[in-house]
Amino acid sequence: MVNRSLQELARELDAIIDSSSDGLFVCDAGGRILRVNPASARINNATPEQLEGRNYLDVAREGLVLLPSAALEAIKAKAQVSLLQQSRTGRKLISTATPVFDEQQQLIRVVVSERDISEIERLKRDLEDQQELGNQFRRQLSQLQREQLNGRDVIAESPLMATTLKQARRLSQVDSTVLLLGESGVGKGLIADLIHVGSHRAQQPMIKLNCGAIPESLIEAELFGYERGAFTGAVANKPGQLELADKGTVFLDEIAELPLSAQVKLLRFLEDGRLTRLGATKERQVDVRLIAATNRDLKQRVDSGLFREDLYYRLSVIPIQIPALRQRQECIVPLLNSYLHYFAERVGVRRQLTPAALDRLCTYAWPGNVRELMNLCERLVVMSEGPLIDVNHLPAVVLNNGVAHITTSTPWPAAMSMVQILASVEREVLYQAHKRYGRQCRIAAMLGMSQPTVARKLRHYGIGRFVSE
């Protein structure tokens, strides 16, 4: 019974040794090879019959095993020895020899494991290649961003805009957090671009995120990333935008729309540059310069409990107020000429404004600011049939100087309260704007509202098909 158990144990040990993917061989205290598993024979390109029962130095002289030998060094040192070696077939090996002692602390065996690290080296090179490819993409993205910026006209004929650009250039030399303030369409994104491309981070990408365009349930995952299984649908690890922008810049537009839960995590990140993905426990250190922007009154949002006061003060370290287009009248004509030329060149035509049309456009209030001006120029270039753009080519909203024509079939009933009348007017304005512009972002730009506010009001009044943009 005992003999059978010993035999079973021996078979189990043989199976374990022979099935190991690492090379294993055993020497006695005199350096005689006692046992070689198939993986070791394959690594050394020799059969067990050629190695077993022979002294290590003898088979080494025949070129069947490697010198220097971890086994011989371990016998000499009576301690564990590891060597980095290269096999006859050119594969890299790590050989680790471990001495075995009897009860009298006499050396009786040396067990050597040989691990082929050629595959690990190859995977390491592949990883380095992938990282370099990622770096190339980042450099190309950064270069593309700079080229796109260079192709856009930054016109600052007015003293207010000239001061804004001067502030942007100065801020590009430091890493301070910047808060860009101004109405929708004034060019907050362009100022953010100018700050980034003039900084030492210009070779790294600038990642832009519109906080008002991402559902509240996804904003934290988008900003900070998540681990597999963090929530339903998280089938793989995903870095967030802050992590992807490491060494670069993150531009958070419509920061006022950031949910309170995400505001807490953003504040913590701004304090020490550390973030934790959703579902993870490990913190990551990220080096990011933050530029935020809003067209809302953040102080009012703080007073209403919709924005954290501590985050407000952390973001408004250096605020920049970007003037509305109506406050920089000197820029209107150069901007019109610039964008008309740009869009005309794109479609291969020539377009020019008549003095009368130019006069009307200069007296227009431009509630949508530069974005509205740019879109109008594209429309005029495409829709005009001749080289001259006259007053009759201008849209009704410009001819009426921004006042929408609202008609009501009957006067308001005497029983209607002021709140009901205002709601009726608001619904009519939104209805007309929806008919004219269709898309929520266009409605928001034309009415000087944020897109989430437009979406909420359209849904409230049941206007059109509610689409989140």
Cβ-based neighbour number of residue 146 at 10 Å: 16
Task: Report CA-CA distances (Å) from 291 to 160, 187, 242.
Answer: 21, 14, 12
* Predicted confidence band of residue 340 (pLDDT cuts 50, 70, 90): very high
**Alpha-carbon torsion, ordered 54, 59, 64, 66, to 10 deg:** 110
Measure CA 205 to chain center.
Answer: 9
DSSP-assigned states of every residue in 11-79:
HHHHHHHHH-SSEEEEEETTSBEEEE-HHHHHHHT--HHHHTTSBHHHHHHTTSS-SS-HHHHHHHHTS
Write out pLDDT tens, residues 344-398: 999 999 999 988 888 889 888 898 999 999 999 999 999 888 889 988 889 888 8
Q: In this predicted structure, what is the pLDDT of residue 375?
A: 93
Which has the higher per-residue pLDDT, 323 or 11? 323
Q: Which residue has the higher pLDDT, 2 or 289?
A: 289
Q: Which residue has the tokens 């729309």?
A: 257
CATH superfamily of 152-323: P-loop containing nucleotide triphosphate hydrolases (3.40.50.300)
**127-141, 304-318, 371-385: least confident range:** 127-141
> What pLDDT, in 10s, does the model give residues 286-304?
999 999 999 999 999 999 9
Domain 2-116 has CATH 3.30.450.20: yes
With contact defined as beta carbons under 8 Å apart, do 434 and 458 qualify? yes
Q: Give this prediction's pTM.
A: 0.57
Instruction: With cut-offs at 50, 70 and 90, classify the pLDDT of residue 410.
Output: very low
DSSP annotation string for 113-171:
EEEE-HHHHHHHHHHHHHHHHHHHHHHHHHHHHHHHHHTS-----SHHHHHHHHHHHHH
For 394, half-sphere exposure in the C-beta direction (CA atoms, 13 angstrom radius) is 23
What percent of the chain is helix, strand and coil (3-state, nearest 5)? 50, 15, 35
pLDDT at 134: 60
Q: Which of 61-70, 171-180, 247-256, 270-279 has the lowest mean pLDDT?
A: 61-70
Phi, psi for residue 314 in degrees, rounded to 5: -70, -35
Q: What percentage of the chain carries pLDDT values higher than 70?
A: 87
List, in order, residues 6 or more apart from 20 with CB less than 8 Å away.
37, 39
Name which residue leads in pLDDT, 235 or 178.
178
Helical axes 369-383 vs 440-447, angle rounded to 10°:
120
Q: Rounded to whole angstroms, how far apart are CA atoms 434 and 426?
A: 12
Residue 301: C-alpha distances to residues 44, 260, 432 (Å): 73, 11, 29
Which residue from 367, 360, 442 is spatially nearest to 403, judged by alpha carbons?
A: 367
> Do residues 271 and 313 make contact, with C-beta atoms less than 8 angstroms apart?
no
Give the residues across from 352 on adjacent strands: 388
Comparing 235 with 319, the larger pLDDT belongs to 319
Confidence class of residue 128 from pLDDT cuts 50, 70 and 90? low
Q: What per-residue confidence (pLDDT) applies to 84? A: 84
Residue 45 CB contacts under 8 Å (≥ 6 apart), including other chains: 64, 87, 88, 89
What are the tokens at 16? Answer: 């374990």
Mean pLDDT estimate for the chain: 82
Query: What is residue 374's predicted lDDT score, i.e. its pLDDT?
Result: 92
What's domain 404-469's superfamily in CATH? Answer: Homeodomain-like (1.10.10.60)
Q: Give the separation between CA 83 and CA 4, rounded to whole angstroms.
A: 39
Rounded mean pLDDT, 323-339: 89
Residue 406 has pLDDT above 50, yes or no: no
Tokens of 289: 């310069």
Distance CA 168, CA 445 (A): 24
pLDDT, tens digit (0-9, with 9 covering 90-100), for 197-211: 889 998 888 999 999
Residues 6+ apart with CB under 8 A from 153: 334, 335, 338, 339, 342
pLDDT at position 409 over 60: no
CATH code at 326-399:
1.10.8.60
- Per-residue pLDDT, 411: 56
Domain-by-domain residue ranges, the chain?
A: 2-116, 152-323, 326-399, 404-469
- Given a contact cutoff of 8 angstroms between Cβ atoms, the answer to whether 326 and 185 are in contact is no
Q: What is the DSSP letter of 175?
A: -
Neighbours of 274 (CB within 10 A): 11
Asked if pLDDT for residue 233 goes beyond 70, the answer is yes
Q: Which helix (H) or strand (E) holds 343?
A: helix 332-347
* Sequence-distant contacts of 105-109: CB under 8 A, at least 24 apart: 106/29, 107/29, 107/75, 107/78, 108/28, 108/29, 109/26, 109/27, 109/28, 109/29, 109/34
pLDDT digits (tens, 9 = 90+) for 143-191: 544 444 444 557 778 888 888 988 998 999 999 999 999 999 998 999 9
258 and 252 Cβ atoms separated by less than 8 Å: yes
- Per-residue pLDDT for 105 more than 60? yes
